[in-house]
């Protein structure tokens, strides 16, 4: 059966999800839109969708080889990702190796303080409620997931962090923190979905501590795409670069 793109299922702040003629498959389109602060700060950055889709696909492939189940199937072309359909949980799972961002603003942690073991934080994904931090009792009372699922989500998240942290360390990048989202497949299994990109991670140069992620946009800097390109350039091998015609 030839795959055909169908109706728009969901439009997010930076990605669109399309139905296909196979009910189990969706196509995720990575757009160039970038937002911060609940979508209040907005812009379009040329080729952001292109780079984020390639970076996400690299991370997903790496995780799949490390036995983490993901939504990802393949990139049809940069910007268009073929994926398994999931029912997404309205949870933002944040894992932190180093104190930064809202954690430092809200709690008396020292900036750049290291966490071993890492801190897992779960926020309610809701622009209306401004993504408030959850705890297990609230998650259970809102029926957002079960205790079993939470246990599984925490275990997979720690595993993902270990895999990505080690991979990035070899590329001279510190994985400070990142946000991931999970969904359930047609069998009811918890599967990693969404994206892993400089939009959703804090990535610092290991030598200079230069920021290589969306914090540049949050701070109004102009070199956002240069940083995203730098991440792509460091994490992709020559085979990946040839495949996507990238010459840096």
Q: Cβ closer to ligand UDP: 20 or 91?
A: 91
Q: Which two tokens stand for residue 240?
A: 């990946």
Q: Cβ closer to ligand UDP: 90 or 101?
A: 101
3-state secondary structure string, the chain? CCCCEEEEEEECCCEEEEEECCCCEEEEEECCEEEECCCCEEEECCCHHHHHHHHHHHHHHHHHHCCCCECEEEEEECCEEEEECCEECCEEEEEEEECCCHHHHHCCCCCCCEEEEEEEEEEECCCCCCCCECCHHHHHHCCCCCHHHHHHHHHHHHHHHHHHHHHHHCCCEEEEEEEEEEEECCCCCEEEECCCCCCCEEEEECCCCCECCCHHHHCCCCCHHHHHHHHHHHHCCHHHHHHCCCCC
CB of 94 to ligand UDP, least distance (A): 5
Q: Cβ closer to ligand UDP: 20 or 51?
A: 51
| Residues lying near ligand UDP in the complex (CB under 6 A) | 92, 94, 100-103, 131, 177-179, 200-202, 214
Q: Cβ closer to ligand UDP: 58 or 214?
A: 214
Q: Cβ closer to ligand UDP: 75 or 98?
A: 98
Q: Cβ closer to ligand UDP: 68 or 100?
A: 100
CB of 175 to ligand UDP, least distance (A): 9
CB of 59 to ligand UDP, least distance (A): 14
Residue nearest ligand UDP (C-beta atom): 101
CB of 60 to ligand UDP, least distance (A): 16
CB of 202 to ligand UDP, least distance (A): 4
171, 71 contact by CB (below 8 A): no
3-state secondary structure string, 60-92? HHHHHHCCCCECEEEEEECCEEEEECCEECCEE
CB of 131 to ligand UDP, least distance (A): 6
Q: Cβ closer to ligand UDP: 149 or 177?
A: 177
| Residue from 103, 127, 133 nearest 36 by CA | 127
CB of 45 to ligand UDP, least distance (A): 15
């Amino acid at each position: 059966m030839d795959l055909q793109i169908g109706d728009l299922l969901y439009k997010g702040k930076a990605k669109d999800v399309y139905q296909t003629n196979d009910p189990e498959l969706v196509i995720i389109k990575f757009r160039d839109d970038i937002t911060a602060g609940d979508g209040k700060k907005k812009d379009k950055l040329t080729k952001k969708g292109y780079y984020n889709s390639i970076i996400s696909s690299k991370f997903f492939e790496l995780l799949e080889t490390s036995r983490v189940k993901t939504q990802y199937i393949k990139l049809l072309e940069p910007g268009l990702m073929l994926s398994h359909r999931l029912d997404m949980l309205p949870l933002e799972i944040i894992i932190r190796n180093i104190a930064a961002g809202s954690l430092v603003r809200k709690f008396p942690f020292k900036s750049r303080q290291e966490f071993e073991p890492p801190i897992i934080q779960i926020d309610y994904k809701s622009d209306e409620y401004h993504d408030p931090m959850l705890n297990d009792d609230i998650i259970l009372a809102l029926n957002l997931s079960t205790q079993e699922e939470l246990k599984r989500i925490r275990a997979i998240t720690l595993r993902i962090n270990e895999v990505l942290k080690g991979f990035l360390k070899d590329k001279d990048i510190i994985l400070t923190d990142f946000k991931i989202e999970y969904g359930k497949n047609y069998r009811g299994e918890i599967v990693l979905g969404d994206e892993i990109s400089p939009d959703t991670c804090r990535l610092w140069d290991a030598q200079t501590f230069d920021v290589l992620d969306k914090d540049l946009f949050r701070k109004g800097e102009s070199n956002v795409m240069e940083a995203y390109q730098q991440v792509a350039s460091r994490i992709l091998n020559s085979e990946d670069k040839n495949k996507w015609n990238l010459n840096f």
